[in-house]
Amino acid sequence: MRNVLIIVIFGIISLNVSGQQQQMYTQFMYNKLSINPAFAGNETYLSASLLYRDQWNGFPGAPTAQVFNVNLPRIGKKVGLGVNMEHQSIGITRKFTYELMYAYKFLIADGTLSMGMNVSGRNYTQDYTDSRLFAIQDIKTDPSIPQTVQSKNLLNAGFGIYYNTNTFYLGASVPRMIKADIDFDKNNLFSTEVRHLFLMTGGTFIVNNDVRLTPQLLFRLAENAPFGIDLNGAVTLKNAYSLGMTYRTGGTHGDLGESLDLIFGFQMSEQLMLGAAYDIGLSKLRTASNGSLEVMLVYNFIPRKIKSVIINPRYF
């Protein structure tokens, strides 16, 4: 019964609470396209990313997420395009998101200022035929529980701004500006997609040819929900190995925070990067889960003609 209750509660929360609805990613620094459309076309070559997140491992019905995005090469030094696709599940609820991004860029001194927008579509599904659902009495006798798979499609749009130099970046975005109705009951309007604000910044301090330090910060704010902060610090060795730690605020009264996250990055070649993160829970939820795991692959399709002219590396 405890497992079933948890699954049902997750299903109710995902539809009826106006709060933090957008998936959190520990490796946000490698996954900026999912947060800010202005990041589209940030490089002169194509970059593709795959990410998998298993949140609150061991917790029945806990969230999982899979992400695939493509950041297309910058067009004429001014235009950026990107594609982002995400699949998320929590309890009996599934959500598939597909986004198209457009960004226009201005060269300012030693940096680039980008202004971008995205158009997104989402499919929400709730499966009330899930075999994990049961009750003391037969569920089929409860008229308030539909014995079907419910589905709903909706559209939204967002906006972002992003500025970066070789060693610094600053960005802000609202990926969903429209309060779209996500309630399956057409006669009610209790559930909506709320607006989320993301602010991100970071900088690299070069110690020597082999070592650089990179502090980064992500600020999250959703309507009718407490704000959250990810504060990250990382050290990179020989442009190949990166070790970092993130402190994430959150939790409930008396908790030290939401989690302490360990991040490891390995630049396997000029094209391929592997990232992994493990979140150690600090909230009371840690007693019921084994933490969260995140794995990411990034492949950069760098043409030979571009490799030969890269003199000053750009970290952002």
Please tell me whether residue 295 adopts helix, strand or coil conformation.
Answer: strand
pLDDT of residue 290: 82
**E strands of the chain, at which residues?**
46-54, 64-71, 79-90, 93-108, 111-127, 149-164, 168-174, 196-203, 205-206, 211-222, 228-237, 241-248, 259-267, 272-281, 292-301
The residues, ordered by sequence, that sit 6+ positions from 305 with a Cβ below 8 Å of its Cβ are none
In angstroms, the Cα distances linking 68 to 86, 87, 119, 178, 256 are 6, 9, 16, 24, 33
pLDDT of residue 193: 76
What is the pTM (predicted TM-score) of this model?
Answer: 0.84
Nearest Cα residue to 264 out of 238, 239, 289, 295: 295
In angstroms, the Cα distances linking 90 to 12, 19, 64, 204 are 10, 15, 7, 36
- Which segments of the chain have a pLDDT < 50? 1-19, 308-312
pLDDT of residue 131: 74
pLDDT of residue 20: 53
Distance CA 271, CA 290 (A): 33
pLDDT of residue 187: 60
In angstroms, the Cα distances linking 209 to 130, 236, 237 are 55, 11, 9
Distance CA 188, CA 111 (A): 48
pLDDT of residue 93: 87
Nearest Cα residue to 260 out of 295, 233, 242: 233
Give the tens place of pLDDT for each residue, 50-59.
999 998 887 7
Number of residues that make up the chain: 316
For the record, the structure tokens of 235 come out as: 């050290």
pLDDT of residue 288: 75
pLDDT of residue 151: 86
CATH: 3.40.50.1360, 1.20.120.330, 2.40.160.40, 2.60.200.30. Which one for 2-307?
A: 2.40.160.40
pLDDT of residue 311: 45
pLDDT of residue 148: 79
